[in-house]
Amino acid sequence: MTKSTLTRRGVIKTGAYAGAGLALPTIFTSRARAFTNAPSGNTVTFGFNVPQTGPYADEGLDELRAQELAVEHLNGMGDGGMLNTFSSKALDGTGILGKQVEYVTGDTQTKSDAARASAKAMIEKDGVVMINGGSSSGVAVAVQGLCQEAGIIFMAGLTHSNDTTGKDRKKNGFRHFFNAYMSGAALAPVLEKAYGTDRRAYHLTADYTWGYTQQESIQASTEAIGWETVNNVLTPVGAGDFSSYIAPVLNSGADVLVLNHYGGDMINSITQAVQFGLRDKQVNGKQFEIVVPLYSELMAEGAGDNIKGVYGSMNWNWQLSDPGTKAFVKSFGEKYGRPPSNSAHTCYVQTLLYADAVARAGSFDPCAVAEALEGFEFDGMGNGPVLYRAEDHQCFKDVLVMKGKENPSTKYDILEIVEVTPVDHVTYPPDHPMFGGAEATLGQCNNGA
């Protein structure tokens, strides 16, 4: 675990926290109330927990770039980025409530156990008040549960499983990123227009929570337009070689391959599918097609020509023209020499949203912060008007449908925006069956006191 070289480490005391299996930092007492890791000096520490190794490492490292940039903007360094376009004006670039922001980082390795261990160390040893990050929903669900136990706010990074704000939702956890249901709702009308209603789909699905809910969502949305699901085969995360999973597709009678994969796994699986000649085949009198429900710029860059003409969805893209996007892309590009990914964007935005909630609440108490975030409506952060729904802590906003560009001009504009799906088309009730039904609840806020 590493700490920003721009900041100094404070002295953290530790004590026992009954019932949670954690040795949490001593709960400092303020006039109002006590809570975990209440900052007592002139600094406050954030924990950025991202995959720096493993199959999602490219996404994690881009998240880390954005998190560092957010801290710089909060502390008054650089051009301020989205602080200049954010509809809330509670932050002024002088830190948060008079405190400069420090941060520590950890490597989740795209593994739930490693992520929990990293987050636990941040809470116990580094005294963080908030944890942000993750590029795997399995990691996000695990760390969100830990933060709930510890009395820490979790601002999720890249997590797309319905479960994060569905059956595994927590009062101390918040997600800005969109989810699998939203991808299905946005993609289905576009796929119907492009490929028709008489299609047979074969799914290869990452064998963990995100893959399960992504596949369920895409199957439901495509069957609703008339498609038939031929098969769904689970694949291990980090498999590398997917040839044994792709070969059976050739004789399955399917004319669409849906790759419910992400990161390096998606790059490998789509590359191998193209090498098998799937996109050159005619099946059932139709051109064989491939769909990648969840896209990222970094994945597209890695897959290269293999994603030309392939549809997918995204939470955000650097090619949007709104003022918030332009401000963030400018700041990020000047610092790192490339446009940000949508995983970088969501981590940057989440860091600012947490800081803003603290400023509006006038306290780092996690329950006060949660109250400030629930039902919060904002704009100027790159997605248009956004609602942080109180019932499940899910952000609701427009969703992008993307397609691999046939003739990109640079290695960064490999994807093009083909449709901006309005938020009303991807909104669902909090008790939707895919999100745990009526039994799913946030529970009680825990401030660690």
**pLDDT tens digits for 230-276?**
999 999 988 889 999 999 999 999 999 999 998 889 999 999 999 99
Share of the chain above pLDDT 90, in %: 82
Residue 368 is part of which domain span? Answer: 43-178+318-397
pTM metric for this prediction? 0.91
| Residues 383, 260 share a domain | no
Query: What's the confidence (pLDDT) of residue 33?
Result: 52
For 147, 164, 167, 375, 392, the CA distances from 441, given in Å and listed in that order, are 16, 12, 8, 16, 8
| Residues 266, 140 share a domain | no
417 has a pLDDT exceeding 50: yes
| Residues 326, 293 share a domain | no
Q: How far apart are CA 170 and CA 440, in angstroms?
A: 10
pLDDT tens sequence across 26-41: 433 334 458 999 999 9
Query: What's the confidence (pLDDT) of residue 82?
Result: 98
Count: domains in the chain: 2
8 has a pLDDT exceeding 50: no
Q: What is the CATH number of the domain that holds 331?
A: 3.40.50.2300
Q: Is residue 58 part of a domain?
A: yes
| Residues 170, 134 share a domain | yes
| Residues 302, 344 share a domain | no
pLDDT tens sequence across 276-286: 999 999 999 99
| Residues 310, 260 share a domain | yes
CB atoms within 10 A of CB 269: 28
| 20-30 average pLDDT score | 41
pLDDT tens sequence across 149-172: 999 999 999 899 999 999 999 999
- CB of 302 closer than 8 Å to CB of 271: no
| Residues 255, 369 share a domain | no
Q: Is residue 124 part of a domain?
A: yes
For residue 127 the two structure tokens come to: 């005294």
pLDDT mean across residues, the chain: 91
Residue with tokens 């008054």: 76
| 77-81 average pLDDT score | 97
Strands laid side by side in the 100-107 sheet: 2-3, 100-107, 43-50, 130-133, 153-156, 173-175
CB atoms within 10 A of CB 257: 24
| 389-397 average pLDDT score | 98
For 106, 201, 205, 244, 425, the CA distances from 234, given in Å and listed in that order, are 29, 15, 5, 12, 29
Q: Which of 238, 3, 184 is nearest to 102 (CA)?
A: 3
Residue with tokens 């008007």: 385
For residue 222 the two structure tokens come to: 């495509």
Final residue in a domain of this structure, among 272, 287, 314: 314
Q: How far apart are CA 412 and CA 423, in angstroms?
A: 27
423 has a pLDDT exceeding 90: yes
Q: Is residue 208 part of a domain?
A: yes
Query: What's the confidence (pLDDT) of residue 299?
Result: 87
9 has a pLDDT exceeding 90: no
